[in-house]
Structure 1
Amino acid sequence: MDGMSETTDTSTAPAEPTSEESGRNANRSTTPTSEGFKDFIGSGWAERDEPLPSARESAAFAAERRSKVSAAFPGQRLILPAGDMKQRANDTDYPFRAHSAFAHLTGWGSDAEPGAVLVLEPEGGEGHVATLYFRERAGRDTEEFYANPAIGEFWIGPRPSLAHVAADLAIATRDLGELSRVIDRVDTSTLVLREADASLTEQVDHARIRFAAEQALSTNAQDAPFSLEVGGDHEPDGELARVLSELRLVKDAYEVAQLRVAIDATERGFGEVLQELPRITSEVRGERVIEGVFATRARLDGNDVGYGSIAAAGPHATILHWTRNDGPVVPGDLVLLDAGVEADSLYTADITRTFPVNGTYSEVQRKVYEAVLEAADAAFAIVRPGIVFREVHAAAMAVIARKTAEWGFLPVSAEESLEPDKQYHRRYMVHGTSHHLGLDVHDCAQARRELYLDGVVEAGMVFTIEPGLYFQPDDLTVPAEFRGIGVRIEDDILVTADGAENLSARIPRTADEVEAWVRGAGR
């Protein structure tokens, strides 16, 4: 809260820290501690009038996803944290965003509570009982209400009740304080989503080791060697992460609808950037203006940007992940804008357009742009159920190899360069052409290779197609007029029953369309 103290009354003794966060700055706390103050601040509040909501749209889809996870791990307890706040500096934190697997299995999006944990408890021979644990809000007669800057409602605003969330998500809820009973029941078959919450994962690890040791002692096997490895990629928790990742490879109807929401907002954001070009070109750090304009749309229409926006002008466009965004935007240069709005459901778009600042591509800029567009169109043309995912990349690379060979940039022919032991054309495009898209901008990243890169494409998959050409300013293998030009065109593709749909096709793509788009933006 940028230097704001709890109160300016320094005559009272400092209150005891009520959370880890408040403890970071306990030495400057001036919260009153007198009984009179406590009685006064805890009284005189109107009754809350909060009718319980109907279940949100995502609840039924989340329940079906939980059923699939349950079937994959019969008889095993599954602990799936949302994660907690992450420190940015001293007593300030980054904005909270729940882990994607947690959001997928609960339907809780941007309004998810930090520290929440989903537990799937095995029930009898088959199935699981799902329970969502999170901090019940404290009453206004408690010290937490006014003295805890991390979770007190006086500080951060209203928080949902257990009953409200149970109705909203159609799932049983319990106070987070009861999670200790789950930890007490942890056995060696219990699995945890390791990457979501390091502290909780450590508790589960210790509980599993303790259980295994007790089992060994109870069976008179104390003299036998005992060990239980935790962590790493090859233990059972890794299998849980893979299953949760692979579950998202094919999107359901709700997910596709939310991706459309994110893409529509991203389209608006791109248009607003172009409308601000006069201001963008007048600022020393015009790339920052691009970033800020797009971020405003992301916050208006969604939760945030889905990833750090790349607003790369001129030679910065040749840097694949340029996120410093601190350069000027100069007429005559190109701007490569790679950005996506993350909807309140946490599904994100991922779209790139490369446009001329002055509304007209130069002859060389247009030549590079149209080569990249041809590669993108060639990749899109083969997308349909039944192909292997890696074929999308191969189709784009065939065009990139042919174009760079035609321009005389390769030491061999295009056909030779495409051989696995050559790949000279990749100097100018070292990244891949496609990745899955959803709750994560690089979704399903923990899926097995045989289901991802070598997997068969299915209807309902959503992935990007994003070829590019990048000629570094000091690359002596290309003529001087090509140096410093970077172009990428990226679209979000839905695989349909008999082909594919370009979900972002409404955003201008051809060179002529982009030029007209830029010229018309200020009208």
Structure 2
Amino acid sequence: MNDDDVKQTSSRSQRPASQAFKDFMGSRWAPASGEVPARDEAAGFAAERRGRVSAHFAGERLIIPAGPLKTRSNDTDYRFRPHSAFAHLTGLGTDHEPGAVLVLEPREDGGHDAALYFKPMAGRDSEEFYASARHGEFWIGPRPTLEDMEARLGISARDLDEFPAAAGKDAGVTGIRVVREADPQADAVVEAARSEHGVDAEQARTHDAALGQLLSELRLVKDSHEVSELRRSVAATVSGFEDVVRALPAALEHDRGERLIEGTFFARARLEGNDLGYDTIAASGSNATILHWIRNTGRVSPGELLLLDAGVEVDSLYTADITRTIPVSGTFSAQQRKVYDAVLSAADAAFAVVRPGVRFREIHAAAVRVLAEHLDAWGLLPVSLEEALSAEGQHHRRWMPHGTSHHLGLDVHDCAAAKRELYLDAELEPGMVFTIEPGLYFKDEDLAVPEEYRGIGIRIEDDVLVTEDGYENLSAALPRTTDDVEAWIRRVQG
């Protein structure tokens, strides 16, 4: 039993401490099945990704932690989610493995050998089996053995206790890079080894940052397995949106209708996936003008619009990110339809420019120009259209302050550490997956617009895959036009 377990249980535990109890707890258990698990579907893809990383850092030891468990309240932890770089390079999703570390050990030929250090299943004759609330099989269920993990991933698996020695080996000769802030204990091990061998701390941190950046950039173009997982997450998310539409009548009758909607979608996320990809935005009425409204404490009232921004994270940890703005009573008012159609036109304009070779920033430019044109036609801009669109103007951004697109994958805002020239300034390539999500948000207190606009917030967001000659809208199964949305509500609600 480790120190954490002692701290968490000593003040309330009534577990017997007698040797008789320990002997009895360690006996008469059926043997483990001994069945060797099959190779994970993602293992080959993860190996190819590691090879791409290896090519950039010949002769250096690379350390990618999964991260530790995080305390939620006293002696309870949040559900574990590994660091995205760790998940990408191992193929492990869901709850594998708290405290684990992937190490890429350099070879003389310039390549690397991969080893996974983690805490394997303890034997049923050990005290840890029944006494460790964080690691014991009695408490948290079956855990893999070293042999299990080697079979699944096709790489060497070693006990986590061996990691400090392996991480610091020859630190004065072999360069070491670590994904920083993923796991404080791994950082401490590396820092200690560097200090002992006189490694320049500032230079080492610069090298660490370069590793983190490269691992983020590695995910800009998805391989076929990643695309397949994103398709699964989108399909589950579509089902969750239909669940919400079915739940709208009940939400209209509840004091916290937004919470009912949030819970409805969460049920689908847990049923078909691992969790939510991010906190659901279930914003009804004027709450839809608050860009990151995740409190979801409001009512859902007849005649209002519901802005639902939600995504299912599947077991591999890939997530969708979709938004639809839905009339809760089944039909749009004339004013709601007017604003919605403007946002849809902006989205369509953004889709129209997507193809290989186009710069990522051009998607946003196309969308906001159409929004500005509508705002100008409605008489809302305080200056001319061209002045508003100029770098010195940007008046239209009062009502559309966010970007139109972001990359999508293991993180809902994927690849965020990538260099600017590989993100905003990059040319689109087949395999890139990102969102298109223009919106217009007229707050209740916005005196710069006529009263009929106030309280209307609309966003339409789809997940887009760049193909060899254009794009595929991965979320096309959800309706986008006002007529189609209304027909969809009628169909789903029966």
Normalising by structure 1, what TM-score? 0.92
Question: How does 1:49-88 map onto structure 2 within 5 Å?
Answer: 49-88=33-72
The answer to whether residue 353 in structure 2 is matched with residue 382 in structure 1 is yes
Q: Which residue of 2 aligns with 1:201?
A: 187
Q: Judging changes above 3 Å, is the alpha-carbon distance between structure 1 residues 282 and 22 closer, same or farther for their aligned structure 2 residues?
A: farther
The answer to whether residue 412 in structure 2 is matched with residue 441 in structure 1 is yes
Q: Distance in 2 between matches of 1:26 and 1:381?
A: 63
Q: Which amino acid aligns with 1:351?
A: I
Question: How does 1:374-453 map onto structure 2 within 5 Å?
Answer: 374-453=345-424
Contact 1:18 1:147 in 2 (8 A): no
Question: What SS class does the counterpart of residue 354 from structure 1 fall into?
Answer: strand
Q: Which residue of 2 aligns with 1:253?
A: 224
Q: Distance in 1 between matches of 2:168 and 2:411?
A: 33
Coordinate RMSD, CA, aligned:
1.2
Q: Which residue of 1 aligns with 2:468?
A: 497
Q: Which amino acid aligns with 1:294?
A: F
The answer to whether residue 316 in structure 2 is matched with residue 345 in structure 1 is yes
Give 1:186 shift: 5.6
Q: Which amino acid aligns with 2:242?
A: G
Question: How does 1:108-257 map onto structure 2 within 5 Å?
Answer: 108-185=92-169, 187=171, 189-212=175-198, 227-229=200-202, 235-257=206-228
Give 1:19 shift: 3.7
Give 1:231 shift: 7.9
Q: Judging changes above 3 Å, is the alpha-carbon distance between structure 1 residues 138 and 230 closer, same or farther for their aligned structure 2 residues?
A: farther
* Cα offsets for 1:316-345 (capped at 9, x unmatched): 000000000010011100000000000101
Question: What SS class does the counterpart of residue 321 from structure 1 fall into?
Answer: coil
Question: How does 1:350-365 map onto structure 2 within 5 Å?
Answer: 350-365=321-336
Q: Which amino acid aligns with 2:352?
A: A
* Cα offsets for 1:299-332 (capped at 9, x unmatched): 0101000000000000000000000001001110
Q: Distance in 1 between matches of 2:185 and 2:117?
A: 16
* Cα offsets for 1:429-465 (capped at 9, x unmatched): 1000000000000000000000000111101100000
Give 1:200 shift: 1.3
Q: Which residue of 2 aligns with 1:221?
A: none
Give 1:161 shift: 1.0
Question: What SS class does the counterpart of residue 120 from structure 1 fall into?
Answer: strand
Q: Which residue of 1 aligns with 2:277?
A: 306
Question: How does 1:12-91 map onto structure 2 within 5 Å?
Answer: 18-91=2-75
The answer to whether residue 64 in structure 2 is matched with residue 93 in structure 1 is no
Give 1:147 shift: 0.7
Question: What SS class does the counterpart of residue 151 from structure 2 fall into?
Answer: helix
Q: Distance in 1 between matches of 2:68 and 2:36?
A: 26
Q: Which residue of 1 aligns with 2:254?
A: 283
Q: Distance in 2 between matches of 1:184 and 1:360?
A: 64
Give 1:202 shift: 2.0
Question: What SS class does the counterpart of residue 260 from structure 2 fall into?
Answer: helix
Q: Judging changes above 3 Å, is the alpha-carbon distance between structure 1 residues 137 and 436 closer, same or farther for their aligned structure 2 residues?
A: same
Give 1:88 shift: 0.9
Question: What SS class does the counterpart of residue 32 from structure 2 fall into?
Answer: coil
Structure 2 spans left out of the alignment, 5+ residues: none
* Cα offsets for 1:403-447 (capped at 9, x unmatched): 111111111122221101100000001000000000000000000
Q: Distance in 1 between matches of 2:331 and 2:356?
A: 38
Q: Distance in 2 between matches of 1:416 and 1:511?
A: 31
Contact 1:401 1:425 in 2 (8 A): yes
Q: Which residue of 2 aligns with 1:263?
A: 234
Q: Which residue of 2 aligns with 1:459?
A: 430
Q: Which amino acid aligns with 1:281?
A: L
Question: What SS class does the counterpart of residue 278 from structure 1 fall into?
Answer: helix
Question: What SS class does the counterpart of residue 194 from structure 1 fall into?
Answer: coil
Give 1:169 shift: 1.3
Q: Distance in 2 between matches of 1:125 and 1:169?
A: 23
Contact 1:22 1:149 in 2 (8 A): no
Q: Which amino acid aligns with 1:198?
A: P
Structure 1 spans left out of the alignment, 5+ residues: 1-16, 214-226
Q: Distance in 2 between matches of 1:369 and 1:130?
A: 51
Question: What SS class does the counterpart of residue 196 from structure 1 fall into?
Answer: coil
Question: What SS class does the counterpart of residue 178 from structure 1 fall into?
Answer: helix
Q: Which residue of 2 aligns with 1:224?
A: none
Q: Which amino acid aligns with 1:365?
A: Q
Of 88-97 and 179-188, deviating more is 179-188
Give 1:249 shift: 0.3
> Residue 329 of structure 1: which of 300, 320, 330 is its match?
300
Q: Distance in 1 between matches of 2:249 and 2:146?
A: 50
Question: What SS class does the counterpart of residue 195 from structure 1 fall into?
Answer: coil
Q: Which amino acid aligns with 2:81?
A: R
Q: Which amino acid aligns with 1:141?
A: D
Give 1:21 shift: 4.6
Contact 1:22 1:150 in 2 (8 A): no
Of 115-124 and 178-187, deviating more is 178-187
Percent of residue pairs identical? 59
Q: Which amino acid aligns with 2:87?
A: A
Q: Distance in 2 between matches of 1:136 and 1:102?
A: 17
Give 1:496 shift: 0.2
Normalising by structure 2, what TM-score? 0.98
Q: Distance in 1 between matches of 2:86 and 2:330?
A: 44
Q: Distance in 2 between matches of 1:169 and 1:22?
A: 33
Contact 1:109 1:345 in 2 (8 A): yes
Q: Which residue of 2 aligns with 1:223?
A: none
Q: Which amino acid aligns with 1:378?
A: A
Q: Which amino acid aligns with 2:489?
A: V
Contact 2:356 2:469 in 1 (8 A): yes
Q: Which amino acid aligns with 1:118?
A: L
Q: Which amino acid aligns with 1:106?
A: T
Contact 1:19 1:150 in 2 (8 A): no
Give 1:230 shift: 7.1
Question: What SS class does the counterpart of residue 186 from structure 2 fall into?
Answer: helix
Give 1:24 shift: 3.1
Q: Which residue of 2 aligns with 1:3?
A: none
Contact 2:177 2:204 in 1 (8 A): no
Q: Which amino acid aligns with 2:452?
A: E
Contact 1:312 1:337 in 2 (8 A): yes
Contact 1:359 1:518 in 2 (8 A): yes
Q: Which residue of 2 aligns with 1:218?
A: none
Q: Distance in 1 between matches of 2:167 and 2:43?
A: 26
Contact 2:168 2:194 in 1 (8 A): no
Give 1:22 shift: 4.4
Give 1:183 shift: 3.0
Q: Judging changes above 3 Å, is the alpha-carbon distance between structure 1 residues 465 and 87 closer, same or farther for their aligned structure 2 residues?
A: same
Q: Judging changes above 3 Å, is the alpha-carbon distance between structure 1 residues 22 and 347 closer, same or farther for their aligned structure 2 residues?
A: farther
Q: Distance in 2 between matches of 1:371 and 1:32?
A: 69
Q: Which amino acid aligns with 1:161?
A: T
Q: Distance in 2 between matches of 1:68 and 1:237?
A: 17
